[in-house]
Amino acid sequence: MDVEYINQCLKEINNIYGDFLLTSNHCRSSQAISWNNYSPGIFSKILYAKEYEQLVDARQYSFLLKDKSFFQFYYGYSEGVLTKAKLCYYPYPIANREDIAELEEYFCQSGTDILETYYFGLKELQEIGVVSTNNSHFRLDYDSEVETHCKSHAQYGGINDLRIPFNHIISPIIFFEFIIKSTLDSYDSLKNNIENSPQYKHAMSLASKTVTQVSEENGVHLQYRAL
Amino acid sequence: MSDMLELLPGSIEVENNVAEIHVWTILKNYLSEDIGFLGYRVLPLGNKNIKDTPSFTIISKKYGLIFIDVCSDKLIDIDEEEFWCFHSTGSLYSRDALIEFFEDEAKKRLKRSSDTYNRRRRSYNLSINKLVIFYQNTDEELSHLDMEEIATADYISNQNIEQSLKEKLKSFESGGISGDVISVTFSLLEGTSSYQSKKPVEPELKTVNDFIQKSLNLTFKQDRSQRQISLQLPNGPQRIRGLAGTGKTVVLSLKSALTHFQYSEFKILYLFNTQSLYNQIEKLVEDYYVPEAGAVPNWSSLEILHAWGGQSKPGLYFNLCRKYGLQPLTWGDVRGRGDGLSVIYKHLLTEVGDKLVQEFDMVLIDEAQDFPQPLFEVIYKITKEPKRIIWAYDEFQSLKELKIREPDELFGLDSDSLPNISRDDLKGTYEGGIRKDFILPNCYRNPRLTLMVAHAVALGLYSKDGLVDSIDSVADWNALGYDVVEPINTPQIKENDRVNILRSSEHSKNKLEQFLTDEKKNPRNLLQVKEFENTEKQAKSVVNEIKRLIIDEGVAAEEIIVITLDTRNAEEDLGAVRSLLNQEGVQAITPGFIEKSSAFKEAGFVTLTTPFRAKGNEGNVVFVLNSQKTLEDYNFRGRNSFFVSVTRSRGWCHLFGVGSNMAELMSEIERIRGDYPNFKFVRPDDAFIQRRRVILSKTDKELIETNAAIDKLIDHDPEILIEQLRLKGLI
């Protein structure tokens, strides 16, 4: 899974899924695959809409899609060896469905102080037209140097402290395909075209071969299995 | 330069010095047949104190360059030549020395051009003279003071001033100076050199980018009307009218800088609406002020503010609230209560209207068309007598605002219920023939054809359904930069008149048009119209054209703006274009949908947007997509959007569209081109125009409801509808 391969893989995403993309912003250097104006890190404990907005404004994505979700793909190398990987998916923030009456009811029925304040605050906000959002990002992280927790894991931004061990490091196209297949409504209509194309078949078969085993974890863990 | 004497009265009215005004009047009359400039202290020539410069500068074909200083106080003694003692002003530095320094500086500057100075012969190409007028001293007194020994300049006493002044001028007569020398002299001496054009480097112009670069390299040079108005300080209210791109911001910036320079004790306010203009205005002020004053402007005396403001960025409303101990309303507070600015300024008037103190000596209001009435009323209250309020008004922002709001509607009423500023207050002229209601007729932004098509389509002048609205006042046409050829000799166009309107090239100073003509290319191509079978083909075509412009023509992506008139499907349509561009390796942004609304023209990115968001921005290449929507709205909003979109273009404008309405729009534009550069139409009868105005005044919601009700009648009870209309004589 060298720099050259990952770079090629991102180009394949452009070619195969071009119709779903608004902007491709990935780039490569000798030691990493990242995106233009890359800045590391994530925002936590802030409103998801704000997290999303800050990242889009700063163009912190490899691919921005038509449904306004985006992907980050970062692969870092040290002397040719993969040391870090981050595969991240940020959906577009969606509004909560509750109306003011429902929030009021939550508030009235709630018996705990803190949750009560949440509902009340939301109601107040909604009255002046603020819509609350509910969402967060999903990511796969790999860091060869960490000791305190598993080197490769899946994380959901909403429960940032929970890391589910993941036995493999996968190529961008596997992550990308897996997610858009479930999230993009428009995918189905193009599914056959895409999956029957030689380009797709070639890219996926290559991607399967490059999957790298990290470790076998005990207990709950995720793993990749080739199609 | 024009072929007449250009009067630049500057601050003469504000100074109101009897002696100077007398001399000004003599000079103005005596030189009236001459060609050149007569200015009152409009050329500081690096003097930090404008009072150290001579009162008048004449640059004339007949008399060359003359500096005249008027000593309006009586000279009583001279102390070692350097200090002159005056009767009421006391000891001052020698006026003779000051005029000599001024002449030295002028000569130094004139050496810079071979038009004015011959370096081999070491001589100037026009005569240079200086004269001091002792307005309160007799010949006898002057000879008693040994003036003949002391003075390096010519001088005259108060005896028979008019006669001796004319004789002096006659003695300076050199004659036959060419117009070029006159205008070069003025350029070298004027303080606005930063607005002059650089000497263009002349590569052969081939690609679209070459033309764009050439037009960008030429920075703004003021024309006659702009110079006159910027260098003048009115002693009362003044309105400046003109289309977007006529230089109003430059004029106001210069006026405020000049006033700040000449009257450092004046408190001046420059008020505007669009926050992104801060840098531009401050730069314009500094470009003029810093070289002249040798210091940075004192921003506490010359305040540049937008209308609102908050903790992070002060604005007029916010500052006034603080001053008067009010809790300022924020944008969140007034959300959903109509025009926010109107709400907050009403809030000020209600809470502290009677307590507002006059604090500004001059207020300049840019983008006045964007401001609500209560703001003007507040401005009136905080401006000192004689109410030097200068407001610049963008003509034709939208069809709904065709009628300009008059001062009696803006500035509120006094205790007798009379307008604080009436329409009559804008009638007539200030000194030098400068109108109180001043028009900047020359549009620098849009090529003439583009602008005319935009105007004609917006007004429906060539629409098969008839005019959308009628501009009836000749003055209003003039304010848009047009001349009314027919009907002649009337200030007002009437119903059923045959109307012929001309836009002379002189009023459209877009450089690209001229460059293309110079290069024997057809400026007609600046506006192109294309019809497509469907939106997919339209999108593919715009992407191919953009790719061609960027790759083959070297155009920077940020100079390209794509605007869709189909606002309902904007996000989807623009997304499709963005995706196709991405597949071609061209980066784009869709401000307001994905990027921030303020992210316009980011370097390296094509901007994809809607008419509403495009307002206030401009680009060298504009694509209008779904132009067919121009003809599809109940209340002519489509025509308005068309106008806004097309006028974003400084250069090329491509109109793309689909469907039968596109074919109709194309034939409408063909009819407009057919009469270019004129508009010819018949003014419909008043009843027709009245109906149109009623429709224009309706909100979208009202129109949708009414139309739905009519559709229902047509579907279910057409007989009743027809019968009713017939009975009431409507059909």
Phi (first) and psi of residue A119, to 5 degrees: -65, -45
Nearest CA in chain A to B605: A23
- The answer to whether the beta carbons of residues B269 and B364 sit under 8 Å apart is yes
Specify if A144 maps to a domain: yes
- For the range A75-80, what are the long-range contacts, defined as Cβ-Cβ under 8 Å and sequence gap of 24 or more? A75/A1, A75/A3, A75/A6, A75/A32, A75/A33, A75/A34, A76/A31, A76/A32, A76/A34, A77/A2, A77/A3, A77/A31, A77/A32, A78/A31, A80/A2
CA nearest B692: which of B465, B464, B452, B395?
Answer: B465
Q: Count CA atoms within 13 Å of residue A193 on its CB side.
A: 10
**Unique residue bearing structure tokens 């000004």:** B24
Specify if B202 maps to a domain: no
Q: Do B578 and A24 touch (CB under 8 A)?
A: no
Phi (first) and psi of residue B158, to 5 degrees: -85, 5
- The alpha carbon of B292 is separated from its chain's Cα centroid by a whole number of angstroms, namely 23
Specify if A123 maps to a domain: no
Phi (first) and psi of residue B397, to 5 degrees: -75, -40
In whole angstroms, what is the distance from residue B230 CA to residue A214 CA? 73
Would you call B496 helix, strand, or coil by DSSP? coil
CB nearest A19 (choices: B579, B588, B596):
B579
- State whether B176 and B264 are in the same domain: no
Tell me how many residue pairs between chain A and chain B have CB atoms under 8 A apart.
33
The per-residue pLDDT for A99 is: 77
CA nearest B102: which of B134, B78, B121, B128?
Answer: B128
Cα torsion at B353, B354, B356, B359 (round to 10°)? 130
Specify if A220 maps to a domain: no
In whole angstroms, what is the distance from residue B664 CA to residue B680 CA? 19
Q: Do A128 and B583 touch (CB under 8 A)?
A: no
Could you tell me the residue range of the domain that residue A172 belongs to? 3-96+131-213
In whole angstroms, what is the distance from residue B341 CA to residue B398 CA? 19
Would you call A96 helix, strand, or coil by DSSP? coil
- The answer to whether the beta carbons of residues A166 and A222 sit under 8 Å apart is yes
- Considering only CB atoms, which chain B residues are within 8 Å of A21? 579, 582-583
In whole angstroms, what is the distance from residue B506 CA to residue B481 CA? 9
N-to-C CA span, chain A: 19
Would you call A131 helix, strand, or coil by DSSP? coil
In whole angstroms, what is the distance from residue B185 CA to residue B181 CA? 6
The per-residue pLDDT for A78 is: 93
**Unique residue bearing structure tokens 């400068």:** B434
Token pair in block for residue B421: 């500023």
Identify the helix (H) or strand (E) that includes residue B188.
helix B179-189
The per-residue pLDDT for B197 is: 42
CA nearest A67: which of A17, A133, A8?
Answer: A17
Beta-bridge partners for B438:
B240
In whole angstroms, what is the distance from residue B637 CA to residue B399 CA? 8
Specify if A169 maps to a domain: yes
Burial class of residue B61 in the structure, from the number of CB atoms within 10 Å of its CB (0-12 exposed, 13-18 middle, 19+ buried): buried
The total domain count for chain A is 1
Residues in chain B where the model's pLDDT stays below 50? 192-200, 219
- Considering only CB atoms, which chain B residues are within 8 Å of A23? 578, 582, 587-588
Show Cβ contacts of residue B392 under 8 Å, excluding neighbours closer than 6 positions.
Answer: B239, B240, B241, B242, B248, B249, B251, B252, B364, B365, B366, B367, B368
- Considering only CB atoms, which chain B residues are within 8 Å of A14? 583
- State whether B392 and B491 are in the same domain: no
- The answer to whether the beta carbons of residues B601 and B582 sit under 8 Å apart is no
- State whether B611 and B661 are in the same domain: yes
Peptide bond into B718 cis (omega under 30): no
Specify if B299 maps to a domain: yes
Burial class of residue A107 in the structure, from the number of CB atoms within 10 Å of its CB (0-12 exposed, 13-18 middle, 19+ buried): middle
- The CATH number for B280's domain is 3.40.50
- State whether B707 and B681 are in the same domain: no
Q: Do A128 and B588 touch (CB under 8 A)?
A: no
Nearest CA in chain A to B592: A57
Q: Does A36 touch chain B (CB under 8 A)?
A: no
**Unique residue bearing structure tokens 């104006």:** A37
Specify if A84 maps to a domain: yes
Complex prediction ipTM? 0.86
Specify if B213 maps to a domain: no
The total domain count for chain B is 4
Specify if A192 maps to a domain: yes
CA nearest B66: which of B171, B180, B150?
Answer: B171
Phi (first) and psi of residue B235, to 5 degrees: -100, 50
- Considering only CB atoms, which chain A residues are within 8 Å of B595? 56-57
Q: Show the beta-strand stretches assigned E in B72-172.
A: 75-79, 83-86, 90-93, 117-118, 123-124, 128-134, 154-156
Distance from CA of B591 to the nearest CA of A (A): 10
The domain boundary, picked from B405, B421, B439, lies at B439
CA nearest A174: which of A6, A56, A24?
Answer: A6
In whole angstroms, what is the distance from residue B83 CA to residue B647 CA? 59
Show Cβ contacts of residue B298 under 8 Å, excluding neighbours closer than 6 positions.
Answer: B260, B264
Cα Rg of chain A (Å, integer): 20
Q: Do B587 and A23 touch (CB under 8 A)?
A: yes
Phi (first) and psi of residue B700, to 5 degrees: -60, -40
Specify if B520 maps to a domain: yes
CB nearest B582 (choices: A23, A68, A129):
A23
Nearest CA in chain B to A58: B595
Secondary structure of B349-414 in the HEC alphabet?
A: HHHHCCCCCCCECEEEECCHHHCCHHHHHHHHHHECCCCCEEEEEECCCCHHHCCCCCHHHHCCEC
Specify if B659 maps to a domain: yes
Q: Count CA atoms within 13 Å of residue B633 on its CB side.
A: 24
**Strands of the B268-272 sheet, one edge to the other:** B302-306, B268-272, B362-365, B389-394, B238-242, B437-439
- The answer to whether the beta carbons of residues B233 and B13 sit under 8 Å apart is yes
Show Cβ contacts of residue B336 under 8 Å, excluding neighbours closer than 6 positions.
Answer: A129
Residues in chain A where the model's pLDDT stays below 50? none
In whole angstroms, what is the distance from residue B434 CA to residue B228 CA? 8
In whole angstroms, what is the distance from residue A175 CA to residue A10 CA? 11
Q: Do B583 and A22 touch (CB under 8 A)?
A: no
**Unique residue bearing structure tokens 């004339």:** B60
Specify if B553 maps to a domain: yes
Specify if B175 maps to a domain: yes
In whole angstroms, what is the distance from residue B640 CA to residue B661 CA? 16
Specify if A11 maps to a domain: yes
- State whether B614 and B715 are in the same domain: no
- State whether B294 and B345 are in the same domain: yes
In whole angstroms, what is the distance from residue B706 CA to residue B712 CA? 10
Could you tell me the residue range of the domain that residue B131 belongs to? 5-190
- Considering only CB atoms, which chain A residues are within 8 Å of B588? 23
The per-residue pLDDT for A147 is: 84
- Considering only CB atoms, which chain A residues are within 8 Å of B336? 129
Q: Does A80 touch chain B (CB under 8 A)?
A: no
CA nearest B150: which of B244, B198, B64, B82?
Answer: B82
Dump pLDDT digits (tens) for A168-192.
999 999 999 999 999 998 899 999 9
- The CATH number for B172's domain is 3.40.1350
Secondary structure of A7-74 in the HEC alphabet?
A: HHHHHHHHHHHHHHEEEECEEECCCEEEECCCCCCCCCCCCHHHHHHHHHHCCCCCEEECCCCEEEEE
Cα torsion at B500, B506, B507, B510 (round to 10°)? 130
- State whether B168 and B49 are in the same domain: yes
Dump pLDDT digits (tens) for B46-79.
888 888 999 999 999 999 999 999 999 999 998 8
- State whether B342 and B434 are in the same domain: yes
- The answer to whether the beta carbons of residues A28 and A172 sit under 8 Å apart is no
Specify if A196 maps to a domain: yes
Specify if B282 maps to a domain: yes
Would you call A169 helix, strand, or coil by DSSP? strand
- State whether B556 and B592 are in the same domain: yes
Nearest CA in chain B to A55: B595
**Unique residue bearing structure tokens 């980050």:** A72
